[in-house]
A = this chain, B = another copy of it.
């Protein structure tokens, strides 16, 4: 999952707990922790965290060796995972993540121009496929892999991304920067490391002046053949399926998942941590606050079945 950021681990578990001033009662037998991860992607040797009941199924199935968790949630843990109880699992997880990935809480400014591109700023390390078209004045930073037949407009900023074959990205769009994640811990801002990237699949079309942030502990992804209009904002960890059509000025908050063949009308906002099914149609200007089943047609604020929206109005 962390394609582009260096893992400074493994670390010994008690070294970690000591570093973040973790509660004494959790001290456990010697053990190395290899990596940090979300519950879903975690492997043996990883540490993860749980603080939102929406992810209880992931908790039950996780392969993580350790999990930061509130006391009252430990009952959902499976037998493979050792609980590290704490009153604030996310805060502690952020501090631990910073040990493993000290470079991922800030965007990187290192840059060496590839002089083959005269009117653009493309870093020498960027891998580029065949038949690449790029507009004047675009910046492509480190940690980018570009497929074949890709088109990127002018004044874009791309970093930490994989761009699939035949993708089209229009002028002024910004992809792969750090997402909006932080906690105030003892009144100090702690930015959440963003060790993920953005995956733009093949044939995706993205309009102008969009923002697509990279994932924190997961990937932000746009499925193949999905079409996105201008000024759309896609937050960290969002996953959008294939053959979706997303109109202008839509916003999708962090970690929400959208299925295949969805149509989303202009200016619609979708809250974070939701699951939107396949083949869902959402009318323009809606505010979606709950999960949405496959094949639903919804509209309104809060979004409801479209027939109810029409009846009310």
- Residues in B with CB closer than 8 Å to A121 are 119, 136-137
Chain B residues near A213 (CB-CB < 8 A): 230
Complex: how many Å from CA A189 to CA B228? 13
CB of A167, distance to nearest CB on chain B (Å): 11
A151 within 8 A of B: yes
Residues of B within 8 A of A17 (CB): none
A248 to B233 Cα, complex, angstroms: 7
- Contact mask A64-107 → B, CB, 8 Å, 1/0? 00000000000000000000000000000000000000000011
**Contacts A172-B174, A285-B269: A155 and B153 contacting too (C-beta < 8 A)?**
no
Interface stretch (choices A41-49, A204-212, A215-223):
A204-212
Complex formed: what's the CA distance from A211 to B229 in Å?
A: 10
CB pair A249–B233 under 8 Å, yes or no, is yes
Whether A109 contacts B137 by the Cβ 8 Å rule is no
Q: Whole-angstrom distance between the alpha carbons of A225 and B190 in the complex? A: 11
The residues of B that contact A209 with a CB separation of less than 8 Å are 172, 174, 209-211, 231
User: Which partner residue on chain B sits nearest A134 by CB separation?
Assistant: B109
Other-chain residue from B141, B153, B184, B203 in contact with A107 (beta carbon distance below 8 A): B153
Contacts of A153 in B (CB 8 A): 107, 157, 177
The residue that A251 contacts in the complex, of B111, B136, B267, B287, with Cβ under 8 A, is B267
Whether, in the assembled complex, A154 has its beta carbon less than 8 Å from a beta carbon of chain B, the answer is yes
Interface string of A174-218 (1 = CB under 8 A from B): 100110101010000101000000000001010111110100000
Q: Closest approach, in angstroms, between the C-beta of A216 and any C-beta of chain B?
A: 14
The answer to whether A231 and B230 have CB atoms under 8 Å apart is no
Query: Which chain B residues lie closer than 8 Å to A208 at the CB level?
Result: 157, 174, 177, 211
Report yes or no: B182 in contact with A171, Cβ–Cβ below 8 A: no
Q: Mark A231-254, 1 if CB is under 8 A from B, else 0.
A: 101010000000100011101010
Which residues in chain A, 121-159, are within 8 Å of chain B measured between CB atoms? 121, 133-137, 139, 141, 151, 153-155, 157
Cβ–Cβ contact A284 & B253, under 8 A = yes
List 14 A-B pairs, Cβ < 8 Å.
A107-B170, A109-B133, A111-B119, A113-B119, A136-B139, A155-B157, A180-B247, A207-B211, A208-B211, A233-B266, A248-B253, A251-B266, A267-B269, A300-B301
Known: A107-B151, A157-B171, A170-B174. 9 other contacts (CB 8 A): A139-B155, A172-B174, A180-B207, A189-B225, A209-B231, A229-B235, A231-B231, A233-B266, A267-B287
